[in-house]
Structure 1
Amino acid sequence: MSKTMLIDAAHAEETRVAIVDGRQVEEFDFESRARRQLRGNIYLAKVTRVEPSLQAAFVEYGGNRHGFLAFNEIHPDYYQIPVADREAIMAEAQSDDDDDHDDLGRESDDGDSDGGLADEERLKRRLMRRYKIQDVIKRRQILLVQVVKDERGAKGAALTTWLSLAGRYCVLMPNTGKGGGISRKITNTSDRRRLKAAAAALKVPQGMGLIIRTAGAKRTRAEIKRDYEYLLRLWSTIRETTLSSNAPAMIYEEENLVRRAVRDMYDKDFDGIQVEGVEGFKQARDFMRVLMPSQAKKIHLYQGSRPLFASNGIEEVLTQIHQPVVPLKSGGYLVINQTEALVAIDVNSGRATKERNVEATATKTNMEAAVEAARQLRLRDLAGLIVIDFIDMDEGKNNRAVEKALKDALAKDRARIQMGRISGFGLMEISRQRRRLGVIEGATEVCECCQGAGRVRSAESAALTTLRAVDIEAGKNGAGSVNLRVSTAVALYILNHKRAYLQSLLELRGLNVVIQIDDSLAQGEHSIERTETNEDFVAPESHIDLAELDDGFDDSAFADEDEDHDEDEDFGDDQDEAELESEDEDDDESRARQEQDDDGRGGRRRRRRRG
């Protein structure tokens, strides 16, 4: 089927992008104006604290929290060491370069292997062995940093000083001293040889590095050169801005979603790009004219009467992304739950009962689930540690088939992925690169009632917890009066079921409880406000006569019988032990006689053999 890119930029508050293959949504990305991603932005930052125990620094760059800068992410140019030592370090790193470096290296944002940066990783490890961060980085030092991971929860952004600028076909690394590298995803030998020659012809300045991205595999030398020159101009602008700025300050902001989609997601095989929203259309067309002028004619402004996504039948599909349950064609379903530690995906057979036996049903459901789980990872941008709980299968070949199906489905993903094998418990572990905030994190807020737990306390449990708190208040501050604010459900439960308890508090503890309804409080919350203290209250003596609780049952009638029974049990135990000892003695005598007979026969046999 033909692929189309749909861009919904009708609302300035949120932009959405979908790659559609027929009616199937293959990829989805969105960006909220209130939560713009920081990843890729470059800042002029100031070191606020050096932490030797973490071998890291915290820097002020202009975000909501201080950024985290690990020691191995600090370029040697920033080390407070003699110039001669710094030059020796860089010369040593340069001498490590070899002809095969383009097959190794770190990976870029779209999952491409940068190929050409393996030596950079070796340099980082060597520097960490030679120096400590507290010796070479000082407080209030100014650094040019780039965000590699967005702020998430209570964690600040992760930063690096090894900068990279992504274009359509190339990635320019202004302070990485390597020549050219080729994406590991480009496996064709002739393409790699041709692209390596094209990169060498660009004559990248010393001290910079360049990677040819997967999108540049079939591009001409002229197209790659145009993209490289665009990145050089961009870096020149960044340098000029840096020199005229004071820390902390934003130096470069990564492209918005419309431009990133054109740069990273578009392919020449697409039928075209439909954009809803005049401003978004202008941005996409103008940026395409810079990157790929010949493709600008494929961008069209959508002017239909119905919304763009609704007219293409994908609005309902995208609504499903926010639901934990994902149905499968066979009748089974997935249940997806995100936690702080990992993402759990549970596979259930549901109504899938058409196969000939349990094994066949489990295998077919798991095969469907593998493909759909890989698709949901892309659509929801679920990242970190992911565990899939497949239906148990007895035959090993079926496990291998499911693993292969999942691996093939994950090959379409632009994020870096590592996957294990199905364990004996039916679990598979996957690690997926976090490229942005997931759909759930980016489009939702923590529930005020349950604080993200997904469940609230029942009215009964909340009422009892509240009354215990009132009792504690009475014990601490004595008699008087308090205002108890609770939700409607809890107030009704207390008034209908615990009125006698409130009366006992008043009579025995001298505490008058005035219940006030406050629906701004969650069901498990309450507020106790002391309004009056009565120091003259004298609590009545509390005495419970145990005789009044006697129901006429005579315990003494059974005392002697219990003792006799105990004696009988002791006598029986002694008799059993004596019988066991007698049996053991008989067994010992029997074994002794048997051994003597065996020795006699053995001796006669030995004598006959000797004769």
Structure 2
Amino acid sequence: MRTLYMNLRGTEKRIVVQEEGRVAEILYDRPGQGSLVGHLYAGRVAKVLPGMQAAFVDIGAEQHAYLHKDDLPAAGGRLIQQLVHEGQRLLVQVTKDAVDTKGPKLTGKVELTGRYAVYMPYEGTTAVSKKIRDEAKREELLSLGGQGVIFRSACAGVPLSVVEDELMRLRSLFEQLQQRLEQEKPPVPLHAAQSLLDRLFQEIPVETVAAVITDDRASVQDLKAYAEEVTLYSGKEDILLHHGLASEIEKALKKVVWLDNGAYLLIEQTETLTVIDVNTGKFTGKQTQQATVRKTNELAAAEIARQLRLRDIGGMILIDFINMREREDQQAVRRALIEGLRRDAATVRVLDFTGLGILEMTRRRKRKSLRDLLLAPAGPYGGYKPSPEAAAYELERDLLQYRGSDYEAVLVEAPAEVRQAFAVLGLQTGVPLQVHFQESPVSSYTIRHLGTHAEMLERKKQ
């Protein structure tokens, strides 16, 4: 079961997902930078690419979005040039956000997700979640009829009429989208994904959530619709800091990850792939060398699965486990990795060990990785530093802790790009103190002094 810690006080929202006492995921939501996944558009085909059996589609984003032939309804064995042409308008849905220089990824096989059902108008099958084991309930849901529906596990606890009403709304929404596609000139957004909470609980099944702890009083009632145990945290200290979770974010940005037995992982992310090296470190073991290596690699496999989710690493991943001579040991480690990935909502594919003993896998993420979200290149010689936006949001959170204090103003040392981000993001309006900045060579910021407006202005001159 999961516990969710929701930091909703500041402009940037953070949600930490804890499973069995360990942090498994960290989700961020920023104004204007939220995920487009699930959003629907009337798009215009900008270019057909026969060699790639794909098309670039203009949805009004900075970069044209990518649409593969297999993601078009009724594609069958036909070629992309037989399915679409330049200038054609299409109803499309974002399945993956833009990452680096790649634009968003699209599908023409739209899915409309509700709390109880997923309506897929271009699919011909109907299914009920395997977690609903009551045969009478399953039959009841299937009796609603129609095709292209998946009844979610949340259906188990509500009357049939509630599910039926939602399904009717989803079907009506699809009809409206088709009408707007014909009426409006693309590119134009047709339907945005739902609220932060709705999007969150579409990714995280409500029945897997044991408790929610939030620092936002206004969200408590809404959250009770998703979880039975909802607790309001009202302390002044940042909720993640208070619960010892802020350090987990810092750890997830480091290259080295220590295992419980003294071994460690070295995680190197590049633009094209991620390489993970497993090292015995301080662990020597009390068994044979072969048993020690296998035990360390199995422990590493479980942690690698967690780190991939935690850091939201995508693309090609190469894992250099400690060398194993026996094929049986390799397969045991591979199974340990697959088992650890079972809770991962991302699409993963674990291949096999190469001749050099490297395990290959891929993971398709929907968002930016944690590193790309929070860090920026430090300069031409490599390395990373907090991004100006991340530093500005962190400063806002720090200053929110002074709400209700007698201080009027604060003096903050920060580089120009952090000061600019703080201003552009409009963060001054949300904090209880007037922020005065002073030039600093540090990559992030430092809170120097607190006091009255006059005192801060005087100190700023010094």
TM-score (norm 2): 0.74
SS at match of 2:235: coil
Determine the C-alpha separation between the residues in 1 that align with 2:209 and 2:17. 9
The question of whether the paired residues in 1 share the 8 Å contact of 2:131 and 2:153 is answered with no
Cross-structure match for 1:178: 124
SS at match of 2:266: strand
Of 267, 283, 302 in structure 2, the residue corresponding to residue 336 of structure 1 is 267
Cross-structure match for 1:253: 192
Determine the C-alpha separation between the residues in 2 that align with 1:369 and 1:219. 42
Of 60, 77, 84 in structure 2, the residue corresponding to residue 126 of structure 1 is 77
Offset, 1:220: 6.5
Deviation digits for residues 507-530 of structure 1 (CA, Å, limit 9, x no counterpart): xxxxxxxxxxxxx9xxxxxxxxxx
Determine the C-alpha separation between the residues in 2 that align with 1:411 and 1:217. 23
Over 3 Å counting, the alpha-carbon distance change for 1:389 and 1:203 in structure 2 is same
Query: AA paired with 1:264?
Result: E
1:323 aligns with 2:265: no
SS at match of 1:360: helix
Of 101, 119, 122 in structure 2, the residue corresponding to residue 154 of structure 1 is 101
**1:8-19 correspondence runs (5 A):** 8-12=7-11, 14-19=12-17
SS at match of 1:372: helix
Structure 1: 5+ residue stretches without partners: 76-122, 456-519, 521-611
SS at match of 1:305: coil
Cross-structure match for 1:443: 374
- Larger Rg, first or second structure (1 or 2): 1
Offset, 1:427: 1.9
Offset, 1:448: 3.8
Determine the C-alpha separation between the residues in 2 that align with 1:136 and 1:263. 31
Of 55, 58, 66 in structure 1, the residue corresponding to residue 56 of structure 2 is 58
Query: AA paired with 1:143?
Result: L
Cross-structure match for 2:201: 262
Of 203, 224, 236 in structure 1, the residue corresponding to residue 145 of structure 2 is 203
The question of whether the paired residues in 2 share the 8 Å contact of 1:259 and 1:287 is answered with no
Cross-structure match for 1:513: none
Deviation digits for residues 186-233 of structure 1 (CA, Å, limit 9, x no counterpart): 388x56x656634432222xxx51123466578774564354345345
SS at match of 2:286: coil
Offset, 1:241: 5.3
Determine the C-alpha separation between the residues in 1 that align with 2:257 and 2:32. 28
**1:80-479 correspondence runs (5 A):** 123-128=74-79, 133=81, 135=82, 137-174=84-121, 176-182=122-128, 186=130, 197-204=139-146, 209-213=148-152, 221=160, 224-225=163-164, 227-232=166-171, 234-235=173-174, 238=177, 242=181, 245-268=184-207, 270-278=209-217, 281=219, 285-286=221-222, 289=225, 295=227, 298-450=229-381, 453-454=382-383
SS at match of 1:57: strand
Determine the C-alpha separation between the residues in 2 that align with 1:15 and 1:6. 11
Q: Give the total of aligned pairs.
A: 385
Determine the C-alpha separation between the residues in 1 that align with 2:334 and 2:111. 35
Offset, 1:182: 4.3
Offset, 1:335: 0.8
Deviation digits for residues 153-175 of structure 1 (CA, Å, limit 9, x no counterpart): 2222222221111223321113x
Over 3 Å counting, the alpha-carbon distance change for 1:229 and 1:298 in structure 2 is farther
Over 3 Å counting, the alpha-carbon distance change for 1:339 and 1:30 in structure 2 is same
**1:554-569 correspondence runs (5 A):** none
Deviation digits for residues 527-574 of structure 1 (CA, Å, limit 9, x no counterpart): xxxxxxxxxxxxxxxxxxxxxxxxxxxxxxxxxxxxxxxxxxxxxxxx
Determine the C-alpha separation between the residues in 2 that align with 1:300 and 1:343. 38
Determine the C-alpha separation between the residues in 2 that align with 1:313 and 1:169. 34
The question of whether the paired residues in 2 share the 8 Å contact of 1:180 and 1:196 is answered with no
The question of whether the paired residues in 1 share the 8 Å contact of 2:45 and 2:58 is answered with yes
Determine the C-alpha separation between the residues in 2 that align with 1:251 and 1:403. 43
Over 3 Å counting, the alpha-carbon distance change for 1:215 and 1:264 in structure 2 is farther
Determine the C-alpha separation between the residues in 1 that align with 2:181 and 2:116. 26
SS at match of 1:259: helix
1:7 aligns with 2:3: no
Over 3 Å counting, the alpha-carbon distance change for 1:286 and 1:246 in structure 2 is farther
Determine the C-alpha separation between the residues in 2 that align with 1:136 and 1:423. 39
Q: Which has the larger helix fraction?
A: 1
Determine the C-alpha separation between the residues in 2 that align with 1:327 and 1:427. 20
Query: AA paired with 2:248?
Result: V
Determine the C-alpha separation between the residues in 1 that align with 2:156 and 2:40. 28
Query: AA paired with 1:68?
Result: Y
The question of whether the paired residues in 2 share the 8 Å contact of 1:19 and 1:28 is answered with yes
RMSD: 3.1
Offset, 1:323: 0.8
Determine the C-alpha separation between the residues in 2 that align with 1:308 and 1:329. 27
Over 3 Å counting, the alpha-carbon distance change for 1:321 and 1:232 in structure 2 is same
Determine the C-alpha separation between the residues in 2 that align with 1:237 and 1:276. 38
Over 3 Å counting, the alpha-carbon distance change for 1:3 and 1:329 in structure 2 is same
The question of whether the paired residues in 2 share the 8 Å contact of 1:7 and 1:258 is answered with no
Over 3 Å counting, the alpha-carbon distance change for 1:240 and 1:431 in structure 2 is same
Determine the C-alpha separation between the residues in 2 that align with 1:19 and 1:177. 32
Determine the C-alpha separation between the residues in 2 that align with 1:69 and 1:352. 48
Query: AA paired with 1:181?
Result: A
Cross-structure match for 1:553: none
User: Percentage identity across aligned positions?
Assistant: 29
Cross-structure match for 2:70: 72
Query: AA paired with 1:317?
Result: E
SS at match of 1:156: coil
Offset, 1:287: 7.0
Cross-structure match for 2:18: 20
SS at match of 2:75: helix
SS at match of 1:124: coil
Determine the C-alpha separation between the residues in 2 that align with 1:37 and 1:244. 26
Structure 2: 5+ residue stretches without partners: 385-440, 442-462
Over 3 Å counting, the alpha-carbon distance change for 1:48 and 1:263 in structure 2 is closer
Over 3 Å counting, the alpha-carbon distance change for 1:20 and 1:165 in structure 2 is same
SS at match of 1:273: strand
Offset, 1:445: 2.7
Deviation digits for residues 448-471 of structure 1 (CA, Å, limit 9, x no counterpart): 434xx549xxxxxxxxxxxxxxxx
Deviation digits for residues 265-289 of structure 1 (CA, Å, limit 9, x no counterpart): 153353321222345x16xx43764
SS at match of 2:200: helix
